[in-house]
Structure 1
Amino acid sequence: MRLSATVLACLVSLGLAAPASAQSFPDRPITLVIPFAAGGSTDLVGRLIAEKMSEGLGQQVVVENKGGAGGNLGAAAVAKATPDGYTILMATVATHALNPAVYPNMPYDPIKDFAPISLLVTVPNVLVVHPSVPANNAQELIALLKANPGKYSYASSGNGSPLHLSGELFKTMAGVDLVHVPYKGAGPALVDVIGGQVPIMFDNLPSSTQHIRSGKLKGIAVTSPQRAATFPDMPALNEALPGYETYTWNALFAPAGTPPEAIKKLNEEANKAVNDPKVKEKLAEFSATVVASTPEELGKFAAAELAKWAPIVKQSGAKAD
């Protein structure tokens, strides 16, 4: 009888083991890989979300900036990481929609190698210039560039990046000649534009917001279809160039094969984080629009973005070095 009771106790113990393991996630820190240099829009959003997720998860979400190859290095590192939920990626339109069309040899498959978690926010871009540039709106800037072909340059976060393509689309639609100066990330590019080494840049609105407000940069136009709520007096670029629109987005992905219970927990806490009143207020200051999707919705969105941007990249002729 004692043996039967012992066996029964073991069976009960084994039966409880699996759910307990699932419920214990996470039991150690999580690494959030940001595939760009510190200081850019993705870094700002990522650190804000990581801090709030840490509170909800009861474990630290540690940010690791792993820039290079337009986001490919960081994204590839996550794609090849152990699929246990402890390494996740702050992805963008670059890592999951543009790079596959820009880079001839991708180190990962943007669909097959990742498990979607949540589409967090969408973010408009902004056309900024150094205060020394004698133009205060898009019409004046276009006239200046047409009068001085090849004289002015613009900075971007790298060849084939969303910011590079924003510039190339502008050149094509405005019919102007601008020299492209690629950097290894939006942060370093922005530093040189503020310093006056390069006069023009398309940036993500979050990372340029404080510099526009302080007067270190002049905001010429936002790239969203409508004016940004944070800068109601700044025109949308499509007011001068009808049909112009570019943007970026931030989403969380884990390596393919990550357990569903880990994905569920990460999705819940990520969506709680972006909907937290204080976080939402901070994101609104950057004109970031909160989405907070399901994993399934993000999967469909990523596939649609990939299909949308491929012909645009091809038309622009943008290629990575």
Structure 2
Amino acid sequence: MDGARRAVVACVESPGGKPMSIARRTALTAALAIAAPAVRAQTRTWPNRPVRIIIPYAPGGPVEIPGRFIAEHLSARLGLPVIVETRPGAGGAVGTKQVIAATDQHTLAMVTGAVAIQPAVQPDIGYDPVTELLPVSLVSTASMGFMVRPNAAFRDLQGLIAAAKAAPGRLTYGSSGNGTTTHMAAALFGARAGITWQHVPYRGGGQLISGFLAGDVDVMSGDLATLLPHVQEGRGLLLGVTAPERVPVLPDVPSIAEVVPGTGITIWFALFAPRNFPEDAVARIVAELAPLRSGSALGERMAATGGQLLLTGPAELAEQLRREMPLWRQVVAEAGIRPE
């Protein structure tokens, strides 16, 4: 019995455990009715148990940086643990379905923009992100880039295009998986540059960088947070960034849109919840994250790798998802990507 009900019973029960009179029973019924709103209010308090953030991708990917930072921040603000779990598989579909199916009202998904891509690449994915996921907040955006090894036969985007046209289908590029944003950035560039190059998908960013450094692919399409350490240490040469414009941390590196117009895109990270998630819980999460927008370590870290911290709230995220899904269906058609 909760505290409110115990207090009511203590006020009206008969001493010595004797049967209550009609008057006392009437008083008890009325008192419990008065206490009921307080009991329901206690039930509605969120959170009342640890919160899970499921990242539906392989460990070590770029989404873990903001995901784990946000979890640590929310843990302190909410007063309960916020636990990050990676649940990779099927380009993010496995973990995303687990979030959609969660009924505990304490499970969130931290995803990339691939959530808008996967339905175009996997028509039988088994869920509709627009109708089955509840937007919580667009967290941040980041640029990607195309990187080659220092001994590559070409050293700029024009050279890449020339090499691909000289030997159609021979040039290879690696991404962090089919239907990921790194895959689609390269597919979009190739389609609009009029080149044919071969996609080599890896299971996550960690395997991708290992394959690239081993010489298994000619070009790596990856997020800047992953690429920059290798560029700075001389293991890679950055040909261009995928953002529509040059990024402040790399002013001398061109945007791919400067060479092939209409190809500039960013990768974005976002928080979603199941549709049964309480609206007041969404509002609280957004409010607790708001202080990070100004001068936070997360904002500084995102900016250092060409990204931008947003923390917009649900409306902007919903619009981002609705706007991008038709775009990716178009890109899949342009690039001749076969649905899985």
TM-score (norm 1): 0.91
**161-170 or 31-40, which moves further after superposition?**
161-170
Deviation string, structure 1 residues 67-114 (Cα, Å, up to 9, x no partner): 121111111111111151x1110122211x111111120221111111
Q: Which blocks of at least 5 consecutive residues in structure 1 are unaligned? A: none
Q: Equivalents in 1 of 2:211, 2:325: separation in Å?
A: 31
Give 2:186's match in structure 1, choosing from 154, 167, 186.
167
Q: Equivalents in 1 of 2:64, 2:339: separation in Å?
A: 22
The answer to whether the 8 Å contact 2:117/2:180 transfers is yes
Q: Equivalents in 2 of 1:35, 1:63: separation in Å?
A: 10
**1:219 is the counterpart of 2:234:** no
**Which residue identity does 1:47 align to in structure 2?**
R
Partner secondary structure for residue 312 of structure 1:
helix
The residue that corresponds to 1:75 in the other structure is 96
State the 1:292 CA deviation.
1.5
**Which residue identity does 2:38 align to in structure 1?**
L
- Which structure carries more relative contact order (alpha carbon 8 Å, separation 6+)? 1
Q: Equivalents in 2 of 1:151, 1:90: separation in Å?
A: 36
**Which residue identity does 2:138 align to in structure 1?**
L
The residue that corresponds to 2:57 in the other structure is 36
Give 1:62's match in structure 2, choosing from 75, 83, 107.
83
Partner secondary structure for residue 84 of structure 2:
strand
**Which residue identity does 1:46 align to in structure 2?**
G
**244-253 or 261-270, which moves further after superposition?**
261-270
State the 1:8 CA deviation.
5.1
Q: How many residues align?
A: 318
Partner secondary structure for residue 41 of structure 1:
coil
Give 1:132's match in structure 2, choosing from 151, 154, 158.
151
Give 2:133's match in structure 1, choosing from 114, 119, 129.
114
Deviation string, structure 1 residues 184-213 (Cα, Å, up to 9, x no partner): 223311221133222311112222222222
Partner secondary structure for residue 263 of structure 1:
helix
Tell me: CA distance 1:286–1:51, structure 2 relative to 1, closer, same or farther (3 Å).
farther
The answer to whether the 8 Å contact 1:238/1:245 transfers is yes
The residue that corresponds to 1:250 in the other structure is 269
**Which residue identity does 1:14 align to in structure 2?**
A
**Which residue identity does 2:117 align to in structure 1?**
L
Q: Equivalents in 2 of 1:209, 1:36: separation in Å?
A: 21
Give 1:91's match in structure 2, choosing from 111, 121, 128.
111
The answer to whether the 8 Å contact 1:128/1:220 transfers is yes
State the 1:180 CA deviation.
1.2
The residue that corresponds to 1:15 in the other structure is 37
Q: Equivalents in 1 of 2:135, 2:104: separation in Å?
A: 12
TM-score (norm 2): 0.86
Counting only pairs closer than 5 Å after superposition, residues 200-211 of structure 1 correspond to structure 2 as 200-211=219-230
Partner secondary structure for residue 111 of structure 1:
helix
Give 2:171's match in structure 1, choosing from 145, 152, 163.
152
Partner secondary structure for residue 258 of structure 1:
coil
The answer to whether the 8 Å contact 1:103/1:319 transfers is no
Q: Which blocks of at least 5 consecutive residues in structure 2 are unaligned? A: 1-22
State the 1:248 CA deviation.
1.6
Who wins on radius of gyration, i.e. which is larger?
2
